[in-house]
Structure 1
Amino acid sequence: MNLAFEIDPGVFASVRHDPDEFVRELRLAAAVKWYELERISQGRAAEIAGLSRAEFISALGDFGVTPFQQTGDEILADIKMLDRWLGSGGG
């Protein structure tokens, strides 16, 4: 599928990108933001950005976005649940 929209040529000068670079950056920025908002998975975001998953994870750092979609509290809750499960002989 091809998506087209008009952009004032001055935009390219203001972001110091040629049109191809602008499109790549736009795709990456959209993918990062949608991932950050938990609207898409890492795999889908990488696909939208035109990157491998490893490249996308690396790019997340450039945007200051964590590659983890769980909060610290959620991770701690998972650890506590696992600890209870292992303590009850579940493992």
Structure 2
Amino acid sequence: MTTISFDFETSAFSALRLAPNEFAREMRVAAAVQWYVQGIVSQGKAAELAGLTRADFLDELYRRKVPACQVVPEELADEIHGV
């Protein structure tokens, strides 16, 4: 496993009212959600990056009001019509 370290001013933790370990978890989950939204990673990979099960990641998407399905209507129509 690889470890990545970041240096933050103490005020960064108070901005979100989180303890350092909670702040680190939030950063990890937020990054995974953002990369999923951008289509950079799959749902499964995002869950892994977030340190969550896929079911828990889906719950996290729901809490953040992020659609779990990232297919746009045009892509869905193409799939339905076999294009």
With normalisation by structure 2, the TM-score equals 0.90
Aligned residue identity for 2:42: S
Q: Which residue of 1 aligns with 2:10?
A: 9
Shift of 1:70: 1.2
Of 65-74 and 30-39, deviating more is 65-74
**Counterpart-to-counterpart distance in 2, 1:47 and 1:60:** 14
Aligned residue identity for 2:57: F
Q: Which runs of 5+ in 1 are unaligned?
A: 83-91
Shift of 1:81: 2.2
**Counterpart-to-counterpart distance in 1, 2:53 and 2:71:** 22
Aligned residue identity for 1:60: L
Structure 2 SS opposite 1:38: coil
With normalisation by structure 1, the TM-score equals 0.83
Shift of 1:25: 0.5
Shift of 1:5: 1.3
Q: Which residue of 1 aligns with 2:64?
A: 63
**Counterpart-to-counterpart distance in 2, 1:41 and 1:56:** 11
**Counterpart-to-counterpart distance in 2, 1:39 and 1:3:** 20
Shift of 1:3: 0.5
Q: Which runs of 5+ in 2 are unaligned?
A: none
Which runs of 4 or more aligned residues in structure 1 lie more than 6 Å from their structure 2 counterparts after TM superposition? Answer: none
How do 1:1-91 residues align onto structure 2 when only pairs under 5 Å count? 1-81=2-82
RMSD over equivalenced CA pairs, Å: 1.3
Q: Could you list the per-position Cα deviations for residues 52-80 of structure 1 after superposition, in whole angstroms to 9, with x for gaps in the alignment?
A: 00110111122221111211221122112
